[in-house]
Amino acid sequence: MAMAVLCHNKYHEIGREVAAYASKHIPQELLKNPEYAAGNYEKALTQTFLKIDAMLDTEGGKQEILELYKETNAASMETPSKRGFGGLTEEGPDMKGCTSIVILVKNKTLYVANAGDSRAILAKGGKVQELSFDHKPDNEKEKARIAKAGGSVIEGRVDGNLNLSRALGDLRYKKDKTLKAEEQMISGEPEIYKYPIGSDFDFIVIGCDGVYETKTNQEIVEFFYKEMKENPSNSLRVAIEKYLDSNLSPDYIKTEGAGCDNMTCIAIKFKHPKP
């Protein structure tokens, strides 16, 4: 078994405690899930994501978020008011959230669980294959759920605020007791994708939305292929560093803001047995 978890706060500061909480608890809760033990990995992943939301809504979860807030704020030069849109009023998981994407490898099968607009792409044989699809409020399926839950999409944002339609946390959008967890305005339910691992699988790139702002998915895998060919002794970590540097905007005005978002990225290389 192998697992990679990427949880990313939606804005530069707001949500990083929820991201840290989810990154810590998703692997633990997944391995404890009875469906995981039974080999029902898709169901186990879905239940684990929804359980994280349930845990965040407990006193223990809220207390852990508060402790994480205190730790990160104490380690930062920022004042609480600069932690984004209200400072101390935004400590808890009601007002904070994160995207989450999990890669699970079991029995030569790749499982991808995604909630939000972080993304996983696969490089195989020099080409790209999308492994997940972004959850944006303008997507017809997402928009229908938001409307049914009493919300609206304004300029691509849920109630004019969030520019994604699924996330962990953000519990203020999940308060309707007449709706199931997966029916809420912002849903923590992941979409699950399943792929048999082929001998042509080279590597996976997982990243938050800022990673994909200036290059297409194909251009990203080509960048990694080129770096790995020219510098085979370098690790994937070096390739990631070079990619993220190349992704930075040289001029905010000229790029119209592209390349100015924060970026979190993981790369996974497949090791295939030699013939």
Chain segment 97-118, per-residue pLDDT in tens: 999 999 999 999 999 999 999 9
User: Residues 32-44: what's their mean pLDDT?
Assistant: 97
Confidence of residue 78 (pLDDT cuts 50, 70, 90): low
Task: Please report, for residues 58, 87, 130, 182, 205, the alpha-carbon distance to residue 95 in angstroms, rounded to integers and kept in the order given.
Answer: 15, 11, 31, 19, 29
The pair of structure tokens assigned to 23 is: 């990154």
> Percentage of residues in the chain with pLDDT exceeding 70?
91
Q: pTM here?
A: 0.89
Chain segment 191-206, per-residue pLDDT in tens: 999 999 999 999 999 9
What is the C-alpha end-to-end distance of the chain, expressed in Å? 23
> CA-to-CA distance for 158 and 11, rounded, in angstroms?
15
User: Residues 129-145: what's their mean pLDDT?
Assistant: 96
What is the amino acid identity at position 61? G
Instruction: List the domain boundaries for the chain.
Output: 2-269
Q: Which architecture, in CATH terms, is 2-269?
A: 4-Layer Sandwich (3.60)
